[in-house]
Amino acid sequence: LLGNHVNCSAIEITLGNACFVALQDCHLAICGGDLNASVDGHPIANWSDFSIKKGQKLQFGMARNGIRAYLAVKGGFNVPEHLGSSSTVLREALGGLEANGNALKAGDVLPFDAHSLPNHKPRIMTFRFKPDYNLPITLRVIEGYQCDDFSVEAKEKFYSGSFAISPDSNRMGYRLEGNTVKPPYDGILSEGIALGAIQIPHDGNPIVLLNDHQTIGGYPKLGCVARIDLPRLAQAKPGQKVRFIKGDRQGLQDVWCQWAQFFGY
């Protein structure tokens, strides 16, 4: 929508109730969850680009489809990088405007390079890649080598039942509650762990690891949620139901490649 590099800095807004005032003219885009965005009271379409003038106010209301919206500016926000990234990790006190891991607060100023405004009409993302976060959630699983250690009964409960997203979920991982899945053993030697890994801790309630996940873990794992499905999970609210199905690795790789090619990964 803006022609930015894939790693340009953007802002993640969770649940809404945020307000930004333009200190100069700028070309913006919003994607992700629909948080009821408006400019000076006029609604802005989600998954689209738009321009605002100096002094205009961009507001986000309450979430109505998904819970996380993403705000980008032409050329990206100019914030300091740490370890090659401008991301903010609250838990590790890394990144952010002040390089201390703090979230944005009232009065913060987000700098960006001055740019001319486009003369074209606002563009909206193609329907093919624009998700509806209110639809039922079915996550495709790529099973791992530890899956064979789980009993037939445990795997049957995992795939046949549904789970509710726990309020105790965050960017590190989503905890699920429902029919408990018995782990094959109490624990394993800690090992490297991947994005989307499905851990089964002692209580039998699965944990799906997300972007801020730890680098090692000692719980047995059934496999990983397909990468293409993780954004869908990350937009889900506590209490929403989740189901799992076995995924075809080759087919999921093809779908991911199509998605990544479209978005410039």
pLDDT attached to residue 265: 76
Apex 88 CA angle, 169 and 230, nearest 5: 45
In a domain, 237, yes or no: yes
Tell whether 125 and 144 lie within a shared domain. Answer: no
Q: How many domains does the chain have?
A: 2
Using alpha carbons, select from 175, 139, 135, 187 the residue that is nearest to residue 159.
Answer: 139
Q: Look at phi and psi of residue 146 and say left if phi exceeds 0, alpha if psi is from -120 to 50, else beta.
A: alpha
Are the C-beta atoms of residues 139 and 238 closer than 8 Å to each other? no
Q: Domain holding 145: CATH number?
A: 2.40.100.10
pLDDT-derived band of residue 33, with 50, 70 and 90 as boundaries? very high
Whole-prediction pTM:
0.92
> For 152-168, how does the pLDDT look when each residue is reduced to its tens digit (9 = 90+)?
999 999 999 999 999 99
Both tokens assigned to 122: 């606002």
Q: What residue numbers bound the domain in which 195 lies?
A: 137-263
User: For residue 99, what pLDDT is reported?
Assistant: 86
In this structure, the dihedral spanned by the alpha carbons of residues 51, 53, 55 and 57, taken in order and rounded to 10 degrees, is -20
CA distance 138 to 42: 35
Q: Tens digits of per-residue pLDDT, 160-217?
A: 999 999 999 999 999 999 989 999 998 899 999 999 999 999 999 999 999 999 999 9
Cα 31 to Cα 124: distance, rounded to the nearest angstrom? 10
